[in-house]
Structure 1
Amino acid sequence: MCPRLLILPAATLLMAACATTPGGSADADSAGVLATDDPAPVQMAFTLASGTYRCEQGLRVDVQRAPGAGNSLEVSWKGRRYHMVRNLSHSGLPRFEDPASGLVWIDLPWKSVLLDGGSGKPLASECRGTAVSQRG
């Protein structure tokens, strides 16, 4: 067999080896996903303002954030005030819960929602901040 015929397959294998990353697949790398041994999902963190959130059907939710307290907030809903604590979510979305009442506040920059934690049904949806009183 001619040595020149072996050069092309050897060069092809070398190029393929250089194109892959150690310990990962090309699919995972191209998607921007890094495999880790950490089982806890990454939690999103947003710097959002305190203030009044106007929701669908004319509903209103007031949110107060203490400076530097990113893991808790106060929500006023229908004349009552609820202390909510951040609960880790599988999706990583900011999810605050009040265990006593069962209320859940999903806190996003583009819209937020107040849920009945027991049924999962929205109590106030499409909530958007209007009046800013302080940043937390």
Structure 2
Amino acid sequence: MKKSLSTSLSMLVLLGASLAVAVPQVQAQTTTKKTTKKAAKKPAAKAAPTEVDDGEDEGTPDVKTSVSIDYKCELGNSLTIYTNAEDDKHIALRWGKALHRLSRVPTTTGANRFENRKYGLLWIGIPSKGILLDSKTGHQLANECKSAAQEAMPAPAPVDPAHSL
């Protein structure tokens, strides 16, 4: 009995010693994992999404051989669009004193959409008007922009709600 009691006591001492060593290791692993997770999250939160810059938005477009169309917009704004018959994938847009090159963006609606991602300019042209947006801030720069040809078009007749069915 004495031998089994001393053996049991020795086992308890060894078990206690191994637990004393194991618990700090588990705590260290848990702390390391938490620190690693936090460290991994911080750079991801600070990293901004990068856009592919193909250089199309760079430089001043050559408008010497282009056809220009002047647009008058609401609130007294105006802009000029330069098109080239050989290049239907790009336009040049004069907004204020700056001339920007915009690239065509495909649409499913049939609207003409051109964008310059570097400067955040977005031109949307439909048969009755055009609109210039700042895609970086989400604001309208010019709305109800119409060329002389668009201003000459008759306005669509109002629909009578009683006869619309």
| Equivalent residue number for residue 68 of structure 2 | 50
More helix by share: 2
* Deviations 1:51-110 (CA, angstroms, capped at 9, x unpaired): 110000010010000113211100000100000000123544211001210100002221
| Equivalent residue number for residue 72 of structure 1 | 90
| Equivalent residue number for residue 97 of structure 1 | 115
In the comparison of the two structures, how many residue pairs are matched?
83
Distance 2:145 2:95 in 1: 12
SS of 2:75's equivalent in the other structure is: helix
Normalised to the residue count of structure 1, the TM-score between the two structures is 0.56
The alignment's C-alpha RMSD in Å is 1.8
Computing the radius of gyration over CA atoms, which structure comes out larger, 1 or 2? 2
5+ residue gaps, structure 2: 1-66, 150-165
5+ residue gaps, structure 1: 1-48, 132-136
Distance 1:68 1:125 in 2: 28
CA spacing shift, 1:120–1:91, aligned 2, 3 Å: farther
User: Percent of aligned pairs with the same residue?
Assistant: 31
| Equivalent residue number for residue 124 of structure 1 | 142
Normalised to the residue count of structure 2, the TM-score between the two structures is 0.46
Q: Could you tell me which amino acid in structure 2 is paired with residue 120 of structure 1?
A: G
